[in-house]
Amino acid sequence: MTLSHAALSTADLLGLFAHFLMLSLLAIGGAITTAPDMNRYVVAEHHWITDAQFTASIAIAQAAPGPNVLFVAVLGWNVAGPLGALATMTGTLLPSTALTLYVSRWGARRRETRGMRAFTTGLTPLTIGLLVATGWLLARPYVADGSHAIGALAVVAVSIVGMLKTRLSPMWLVAIGAVAGVLGWV
């Protein structure tokens, strides 16, 4: 990966921090649900990293042990080195952690109310939609590549059917995708 962190100014770092701070408040279902806007910001708008680097950053972080939010640090690192990782992780964790502490305590006291049940029920389709958008963003480079399109779509289809129709651990589906990648099908 070609890194360009030397070119980022203090204003750019603050902008990166502020953007991830804002996205943190929109991350219903986890930070990964905001990956499409992260891509828009760091790839399409600012051209700090390429689309391939963005996808690789998420793949590397998701393959590593630890929390799923690690991809935010890898993105920040690839954009601006250690300061970029600090900006993106602090921006992501600070507001969501504070808000989660407050809202979880507030919601626990009201969990049986009609409004709270309606709110949590309404979040389900929103979260699923955001995860589908993220999945498509990550699959798009492989689907667009003519030599890998059929394999990529097959892996997506097997994953969807596997999650909806079986009780397989998602790790088996990740393993299937890894084998397909190693064999050059995707």
Give the model's pLDDT for residue 153: 85
Q: Are 29 and 124 in contact (CB under 8 A)?
A: no
Residue-wise pLDDT tens digits, 26-53: 887 788 889 999 999 999 999 999 999 9
Number of H helices, E strands in the chain: 7, 0
Residue ranges covered by each domain of the chain = 5-119
Three-class DSSP category at 171: helix
Residue-wise pLDDT tens digits, 152-170: 888 888 888 988 899 888 8
Model confidence at 1, pLDDT cuts 50, 70, 90, reads very low
Instruction: Round the average pLDDT of the chain to a whole number and report it.
Output: 88
Give the model's pLDDT for residue 177: 83
Tell me: pLDDT of 25 over 50: yes
**Average pLDDT of span 161-180:** 87
Model confidence at 5, pLDDT cuts 50, 70, 90, reads low
Which pair of structure tokens corresponds to residue 78? 């690839």
Pairwise CA distance, residues 57 & 165, whole Å = 30
Tell me: pLDDT of 6 over 60: no
Q: Quote the distance between the C-alpha of residue 5 and its chain's center.
A: 21
Report angle CA 122, 128, 132 to the nearest 5 degrees.
150
